[in-house]
């Protein structure tokens, strides 16, 4: 009986090709937009997430603004933070903007940052070539530099920069390494940066204090306690002036970022779901028309012994059929659309099985929900009236 | 002989606005296995309502209706559908064949609702089509058949479940004189094979072929004496 119903539904759909196609179009567009939007947002979200995670979930960022009496953090105070419980290491930044000269070519406004060895050891992907700044460089205040990819491109076109000498702020430095180029949504790009030992920077940049400090944690679960302890040190240093500094726990930032992205994803899916509802109304409309057209057929089938349940099943199967075919077409179109959009925008998409399942489930549900009322109406037709209608 | 149909005091009325229209009033009718009955009446006499109740498409307001011994006066829609499928074969004035199904598939249709497996359905439907003389037209669609042939398909469809009662509503109404005669002869033939048949008509000439004729007028049934030459034929 079920097989018979499926066969009959198929015949009816095929017979009214154009009408079936137009009816399905609503579902196709709905499902396609759900797939495309979710995949795109998911892709963008994955993309950004991985960039943010690369910056480190176990990192606490401290920015020092200082007070009129005390402009930044001293080395001793940074060391005090370094000795707190759960602190794995710290990396200070002493920054300044200045000019960089190589072989008569000048680049202005380059960010020169004094860093330590921890900066390089916590991110093994940082270095492109050469070596990192090590403890010896820091202790002996070596005149060495690691340069960003844009500087390599601009000053060392077709030349290996390693071992070459550049002049920063009037002092000569030997290039010991280059930084990997950062791309895409990358936060905190280092492409235009020159990194030198922070001990050297104190002297050559004329800066006396640390303007920012990255603190690396052993256990991210204890981040809140560590933040409190760091605040303790900073409050002492700045005489309880809380606006002298800011503390960001990267773990918190990543977490809130991810929740924003998943909300965004839901929101877009919700908007797309509206088009599915519109598609569902289209299906309901077509089913009601079909029932009016086939009143005599329904009456005859009833006279021949079809029970109300059988009739309801037949029409329900037909609407589910329509929405599932529409759903499949929508999945194909949506995947295609997501990939085209992704290629245009330049992010990768992640089309996942749960997305497909969601879209399919949605379209089947639309078929059932919007097919139910027409099917019920068909099943309740009085066979006498139905036969008389011809 | 087995009693196929037993109606006692069947009443049915409709309301048009406030006004009650008594369509059937205390109808009494009994039929036995092998009877060939005509219900003769003008339009508006209540014969359609009577046919609907006999065919289990409708239930009476009051009275008792036994079909092959089972009381069917108070069944719900699903139970009535099962009874129709098993016990009643309908033949309609305008055939009501499904246009997209072949003759064979049309005849199979009631067996689909009986839940028979496809191979068995096909076998029985093919036998029945041969029985009505359309063994060579099984694959034809209804619009590839003449009116008479279409009505034969409809008769095969009505017979395929081997029902207790064949109920024909103006079966010759849409056919020309000669074709109508052939269809009536087919009914007579089926009756000789033992089928119980009711023909509802407004045409005395058609009614005259039956062994029994009942008249219906304003919802009341009156039975005439046996028509001599129809009885003689039997």
Residue B92 has pLDDT above 80, yes or no: yes
> What is the phi-psi region of residue A230: left when phi exceeds 0, alpha when psi lies from -120 to 50, beta otherwise?
alpha
Count of CB pairs separated by less than 8 Å, A with B: 56
**Model pLDDT for residues A101-142, shown as the tens digit of each residue:** 988 888 888 889 999 988 888 877 888 899 999 989 988 989
Assess contact for A93 and A210: CB atoms under 8 A.
yes
Nearest-Cα residue of chain A relative to residue B87: A305
356-385 in A: which are within 8 Å (CB) of B?
383-384
| pLDDT in the model for residue B231 | 44
Q: Which residues of B touch A (CB under 8 A)?
A: 52, 55, 57-58, 77-78, 81-82, 84-86, 90, 92, 94, 96, 98, 100, 109-110, 112-115, 157, 161
Give B81's Cβ-side CA count (13 Å radius).
24
Is the separation of the CB atoms in B200 and B57 below 8 Å?
Answer: no
Using CA coordinates, name the residue in chain B closest to A297. Answer: B98
Distance, in Å, from the CA atom of A140 to the CA atom of A135, rounded to the nearest integer, reads 9
Q: What are the residue ranges in chain A where pLDDT is below 50? A: 390
Chain segment B201-211, per-residue pLDDT in tens: 988 888 889 98
| Residues of B with Cβ-Cβ distance to A296 under 8 angstroms | 96
The reply to whether residue B81 touches residue A11, judged by beta carbons under 8 angstroms, is no
Helix (H) or strand (E) holding A224: helix A223-237
Task: Give the count of beta carbons closer than 10 Å to the beta carbon of residue A135.
Answer: 11
Tokens of A201: 């920077």
Tokens of B152: 């034969």
- The residue ranges of every structural domain in chain A are 2-52+256-388, 67-240
Contact residues, chain A, for B115 at CB < 8 Å:
1
- pLDDT category of residue B230 using cuts at 50, 70 and 90: very low
CB atoms inside a 10 Å sphere around CB A343? 11
Q: Which among B52, B81, B92 has CB closest to A305?
A: B81
- Residues pairing with A129 in the sheet: A178
Q: From the CA of A302, how many Å to the nearest CA of chain B? A: 7
| Residue B137 to chain A, least CA–CA distance (Å) | 22
Tell me the DSSP string of B1-35. --EEEEEEEEEEEEEETTEEEEEEEEEEEEEETT-
Ordered domains of chain B (ranges, CATH): 37-49+83-233 (3.40.50.300)
Cβ burial, residue A125 (10 Å; 0-12/13-18/19+): exposed
- Tokens at residue B93, please? 């004035």
pLDDT, residue B1, reads: 60
The distance of A375 to chain B (nearest Cα, Å) reads 16
Rounded CA-CA distance A195/A178 in Å is 9
Note the helical H segments in A57-108. 75-82
Chain A 1-30, residues with CB within 8 Å of chain B CB atoms: 1, 4, 11, 15
Q: Is A239 left (phi over 0), alpha (psi -120 to 50) or beta?
A: left
B194 Rama class: left (phi>0) / alpha (psi -120 to 50) / beta = left
Of B52, B113, B161, the CB nearest to A310: B113
**Which uninterrupted H or E stretch holds A155?**
helix A149-155
Beta-carbon separation of B78 and A308 below 8 A: yes
The token pair that represents A142 in the structure block: 């070596």
- Taking residues B124-136, what's their average pLDDT? 94
pLDDT, mean of residues B37-55: 90
**Residue B100 and residue A15: Cβ atoms within 8 Å?**
yes
**What is the chain B residue with the closest CA to A311?**
B113
- How would you label A299-311 residue by residue, b for 16+ Cβ within 10 Å and e otherwise? bbbbbbbbbbebb
Nearest CB neighbour to B113, from listed A297, A305, A384: A305
- Residues of chain B with Cβ-Cβ distance to A309 below 8 Å are 78
pLDDT computed for residue A341 by the predictor: 84
- Residue A309 near chain B (CB below 8 Å): yes
Mean pLDDT computed over B184-201 = 94
Measured over all CA atoms, what is the biggest interatomic distance in chain A, rounded to whole angstroms? 105
Closest-CA residue of chain B to A14: B100
Average pLDDT, chain B: 90
* Residue A100: HSE in the Cβ half-sphere, 13 Å Cα cutoff: 29
- Phi and psi torsions of B133, nearest 5°: 85, 25
**Mutation site for A-interface testing, chosen from B48, B99, B113, B164 by largest number of A Cβ within 10 Å:** B113
Nearest to A307 among B78, B157, B161 (CB): B78
Are the CB atoms for A215 and A62 separated by under 8 Å? Answer: yes
Tell me which chain A residues have a C-beta less than 8 angstroms from the C-beta of B55: 303
A307 in B contact zone (CB under 8 Å): yes
Tens digit of each residue's pLDDT (9 = 90 or more) over A296-329: 999 999 999 999 999 999 999 999 988 999 999 9
């Amino acid at each position: 009986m079920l097989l018979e119903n499926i066969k009959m539904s198929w015949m009816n759909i095929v017979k009214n090709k154009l009408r079936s196609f137009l009816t399905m179009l609503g579902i196709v567009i709905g499902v396609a937009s759900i797939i495309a939007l979710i995949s795109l947002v998911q892709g963008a979200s994955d993309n950004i997430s991985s960039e943010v995670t690369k910056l480190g979930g176990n990192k606490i960022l401290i920015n020092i603004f200082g007070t009129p009496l005390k402009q930044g953090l001293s080395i001793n105070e940074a060391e005090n933070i370094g000795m707190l419980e759960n602190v794995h290491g710290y990396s200070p930044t002493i920054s300044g903007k200045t000019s960089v000269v190589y072989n008569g070519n000048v680049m202005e406004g380059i960010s020169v940052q004094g860093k330590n060895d921890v900066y390089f050891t916590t991110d093994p992907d940082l270095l492109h070539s050469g070596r990192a700044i090590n403890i010896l460089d820091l202790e002996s205040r070596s005149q060495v530099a690691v340069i960003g990819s844009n500087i390599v491109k601009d000053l060392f076109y077709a030349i290996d920069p390693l071992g070459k000498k550049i002049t920063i702020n009037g002092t000569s430095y030997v290039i010991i390494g280059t930084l990997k180029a950062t791309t895409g949504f990358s936060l905190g790009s280092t492409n235009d940066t020159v990194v030198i030992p922070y001990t050297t920077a104190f002297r050559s940049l004329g800066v006396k204090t640390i303007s920012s400090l990255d603190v690396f944690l052993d256990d991210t679960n204890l981040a809140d306690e560590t933040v409190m302890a760091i605040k303790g040190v900073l409050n002492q240093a700045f005489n309880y002036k809380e606006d002298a500094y800011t503390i960001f726990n990267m773990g918190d930032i990543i977490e809130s970022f991810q929740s924003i992205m998943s909300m965004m994803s839901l929101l877009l899916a919700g908007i797309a779901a509206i088009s599915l509802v519109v598609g569902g109304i289209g299906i309901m409309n077509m089913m009601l028309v079909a029932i009016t057209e086939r009143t005599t057929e329904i009456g005859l089938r009833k006279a021949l012994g079809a029970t109300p349940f059988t009739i309801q099943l037949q029409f329900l199967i037909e609407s589910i059929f329509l929405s599932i075919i529409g759903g499949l077409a929508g999945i194909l179109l949506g995947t295609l659309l997501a990939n085209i959009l992704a290629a245009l925008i330049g992010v990768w998409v992640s089309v996942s099985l749960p997305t497909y399942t969601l879209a399919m489930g949605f379209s089947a549900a639309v078929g059932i929900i919007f097919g139910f009322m027409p099917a019920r109406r068909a099943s309740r037709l009085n066979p006498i009236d139905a036969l008389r209608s011809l | 002989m087995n009693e196929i149909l037993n109606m006692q005091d069947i009443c049915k009325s409709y309301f048009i606005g406030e006004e009650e229209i008594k369509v059937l009033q205390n109808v009494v009718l009994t039929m036995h296995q092998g009877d060939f009955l005509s219900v003769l009446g003008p339009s508006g006499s209540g014969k359609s309502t009577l046919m609907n109740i006999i065919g289990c498409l409708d239930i009476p307001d009051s009275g008792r209706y036994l079909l092959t011994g089972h009381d069917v006066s108070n069944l719900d829609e699903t139970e009535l559908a099962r009874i129709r499928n098993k016990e009643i074969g309908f033949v309609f004035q305008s055939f009501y064949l499904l246009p997209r199904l072949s003759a064979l598939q049309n005849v199979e249709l009631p067996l689909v609702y009986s839940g028979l497996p496809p191979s068995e359905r096909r076998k029985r439907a093919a036998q029945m089509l041969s029985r009505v003389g359309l063994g060579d037209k099984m694959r034809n669609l209804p619009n590839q058949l003449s009116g008479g042939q279409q009505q034969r398909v409809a008769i095969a469809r009505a017979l395929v479940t081997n029902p207790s009662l064949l109920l024909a509503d103006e079966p010759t109404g849409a056919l020309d004189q000669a074709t109508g005669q052939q269809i009536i002869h087919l009914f007579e033939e089926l009756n000789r094979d033992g089928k119980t048949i009711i023909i509802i008509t407004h045409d005395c000439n058609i009614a005259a072929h039956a062994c029994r004729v009942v008249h219906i007028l304003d919802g009341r049934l009156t039975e005439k004496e046996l028509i001599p030459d129809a009885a003689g034929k039997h």
